């Protein structure tokens, strides 16, 4: 009888662990999806304000998001989250410069995303955040950017 209780407890704990992982994965997926929206909004604002001084930040945001997507596919949620948060920070730098506070609030980290930052002990200095090169014309064209860069998990 004792072994049945142990097995039952193990099964319950395993199910709770899997629910936690699934929830974490869903939260990270939501973070990645919101990043994509923030990146395209940053791109749109750069175009509408003719703010070419922000192209480097956009390239960095796109590069970090691509790395986050690649790592997400391996299942490493902590590293994915680090890249994703860094990507959002770059997009937010652009948006803070080009939008007013009312428009900006949607793109800032929500409570779930802030909890991810705390849980992973976010440290952007550990990331590979080098942008080898980029094509400005592609970054300023929404269709070409979507065709060229993998910044969505829904492909």
Residue 60 in this model has a pLDDT that exceeds 90:
yes
* CB hemisphere CA count around 58 (13 angstroms): 30
Average pLDDT, the chain: 87
**C-beta separation of 68 from 83 below 8 A:** yes
In this structure, what is the dihedral angle of CA atoms 42, 48, 50, 52, given to the nearest 10 degrees?
20
The string of pLDDT tens digits covering residues 95-152 is 999 998 888 999 999 999 999 999 988 988 888 878 878 999 999 999 999 999 999 9
Whether pTM > 0.75 for this model: the answer is: yes
With a pLDDT cut of 90, the percent of the chain lying above it is 72
Cα distance between residue 135 and residue 93, in whole Å: 20
Residues near 98 by Cβ (< 8 Å), separated by ≥ 6? 42, 45, 46, 49, 51, 54
pLDDT of 12 reads 43
Which helix (H) or strand (E) segment is 41 a member of?
helix 2-48
Cα distance between residue 86 and residue 147, in whole Å: 22
């Amino acid at each position: 009888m004792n072994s049945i209780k142990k097995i039952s407890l193990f099964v319950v704990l395993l199910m709770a662990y899997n629910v936690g992982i699934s929830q974490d994965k869903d939260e990270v997926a939501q973070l990645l999806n919101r990043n994509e929206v923030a990146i395209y909004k940053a791109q749109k604002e750069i175009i509408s304000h003719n703010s070419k001084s922000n192209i480097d930040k956009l390239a960095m945001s796109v590069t970090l998001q691509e790395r986050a997507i690649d790592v997400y596919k391996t299942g490493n949620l902590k590293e994915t989250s680090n890249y994703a948060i860094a990507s959002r920070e770059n997009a937010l730098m652009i948006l803070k410069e080009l939008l007013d506070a009312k428009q900006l609030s949607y793109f800032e980290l929500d409570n779930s995303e802030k909890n991810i930052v705390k849980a992973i002990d976010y440290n952007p200095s550990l990331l590979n955040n080098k942008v080898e090169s980029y094509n400005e014309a592609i970054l300023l064209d929404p269709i070409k950017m979507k065709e060229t860069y993998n910044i969505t998990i829904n492909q």
